[in-house]
Structure 1
Amino acid sequence: MTEPSGGSSERPRRPVVVPAIALTAFTAVGITALLGGLREAPEEPEALGQGAVIDQGQFTTKVVESRVTVERAQSRFQEDKRFVDVIFDVRNNGDETASVGSPPQKLETAFTLASFAGSLIKIDPAFPEDAGPNTFAQGKGGTTRQLHPGVTSQVVLRYRLKDTDPPPKQITLDVASFEWEPDFNNVTPRWKMVATEAGDKWLPEIKARVTLPVKEGDGA
């Protein structure tokens, strides 16, 4: 028997159904490839708490605690002062005396700092500018701003509380680290904060993220 004119011996093809989610994924991968390939998501910093020990290269730092400290008035004409203290045990692993320093005022300038407190690149919640901080190390003869090589010192990061302000329930700190390498214009190595170039800026890499409860402390 002959086929009718214009007919075909092939059966009509069934339409292929592609799930919408597969099309979406394929499109996303295609666009990503056009833009330069898949990018790795940045790793989350290590989440640490009280008692943690952080290898910062230049320093080995133990996170001791955070507490409210009350400095009692010395006379009836004065008032008690309240502070939030964050306390660390810090060993200077370098061969030279290092500075206790202060936390950076801006993230963009943090990479230029080589002090211990300079590595505390973010503190949450942020305290008012007039609250400090005052940073110092406890020494046998009182307080100091120096960290001597090979010595472990207790370092205090201190913020003043106003009379009516309650202390925060907890404090979270982003901590950077240092590496021993040559400078840009000098082949002599030195301790430099580990940072990544981002456009025209250098942003510190977060070594660890530390969260501490703020305890009600004793009088100073």
Structure 2
Amino acid sequence: MTSTPPRGARRRRPVLIPVVVVLAAATVGVSAALGGLEQAPKRPPEQLGKGAEVDQGQMRTVFEDAVVRSGAKYEMGAPSKRYLQIVLKVTNQSDRTIEAQTMDTALPTVRADATTIKPSSEPGDSGPYIRSISKDHPYSQLQPGVPTTVILSFEMKPGDPVPKKVRIDAATYEWHRDFFTQKHYWQRVLEDPPATPAPKKTPTPTPSSTGTEPPRLGLAQPQTQQLAVVSAQVDLPVRVETS
């Protein structure tokens, strides 16, 4: 049985390719093999502002507001503490209920002015508190096809200044079919991080000089963690809510 893409998944139509296009592609391939072409430059993320709507594949996200306020509103924290909250309107475009916490991976990085607050480098920081809001109460799920308010809430330390703006990275999900199981699911688009210069090699010590056995070949190498492909960056001015 063939799985049908849910709402938001684009169908690909078959395309007739003229012979001229095929020959041109072959010529490009030969030129590239001979070193005549360079790799195409990476497309930079689209730069957007308040009110922007981004189609992320699995969800469609409107970036509505960034506000500093107490945790009393929407029961999103302690009334005596301050929180930086990012307010979104999210439509789940899949055909099943998903967790509001999915927005944690859909928005992989958040910066307050020049400081990255997500992901945080501080030990013990579990990230923002994320909830969907309905009738002024927090919930944990996003129903299919229903535009829902979602809030990412970051606790602020006493004395922390109010940032002027936040910048949010938006990732993209694609409708993916598993090669082995043939099942379909939404998968975040990833890429390898930029290449870094290889460290200088040091001579391998020999048993005669150290009295120990040198490292054996064939040991597993550390894996490079892939990064989310950022399709858009959204800047939101930060306001302060006193009531």
TM-score, structure 2 normalization: 0.63
State the 1:149 CA deviation: 0.7
Q: Greater share of strand residues, 1 or 2?
A: 1
What is the match of residue 171 of structure 2? 176
Query: What fraction of aligned residue pairs are identical, expressed as a percent?
Result: 31
Give the residue type in structure 1 aligned to 2:135. K
Give the residue type in structure 2 aligned to 1:209. Q
What is the match of residue 66 of structure 2? 66
What is the match of residue 138 of structure 2? 143
What is the match of residue 218 of structure 1? 242
For the pair 1:122 / 2:117, whether they are aligned, the reply is: no
Could you give the per-residue CA deviations for residues 155-201 of structure 1, whole angstroms, max 9, x where no partner exists? 00001111211122111111101111212532111111122356854
What is the match of residue 231 of structure 2? 207
List gaps (5 residues or longer) in structure 2. 1-31, 73-77, 194-222
RMSD over aligned CA atoms reads 2.6
Distance 1:164 1:197, change over 3 A: closer
TM-score, structure 1 normalization: 0.69
SS in 1 for 2:109: strand
Structure of higher CA gyration radius: 1
For residues 226 and 179 of structure 2, the distance between their equivalents in structure 1, rounded to whole angstroms, comes to 13
What is the match of residue 165 of structure 1? 160
For residues 166 and 184 of structure 1, the distance between their equivalents in structure 2, rounded to whole angstroms, comes to 50
What is the match of residue 42 of structure 1? 42
SS in 1 for 2:66: strand
Give the residue type in structure 2 aligned to 1:153. T
For residues 141 and 85 of structure 1, the distance between their equivalents in structure 2, rounded to whole angstroms, comes to 15
State the 1:203 CA deviation: 2.5
List gaps (5 residues or longer) in structure 1. 1-31, 73-77, 102-114
For residues 79 and 155 of structure 1, the distance between their equivalents in structure 2, rounded to whole angstroms, comes to 19
The count of corresponding residues between Structure 1 and Structure 2 is 170
Q: Which segment is superposed worse, 45-54 or 163-172?
A: 163-172
SS in 2 for 1:118: helix
Distance 1:117 1:36, change over 3 A: farther
State the 1:150 CA deviation: 1.1
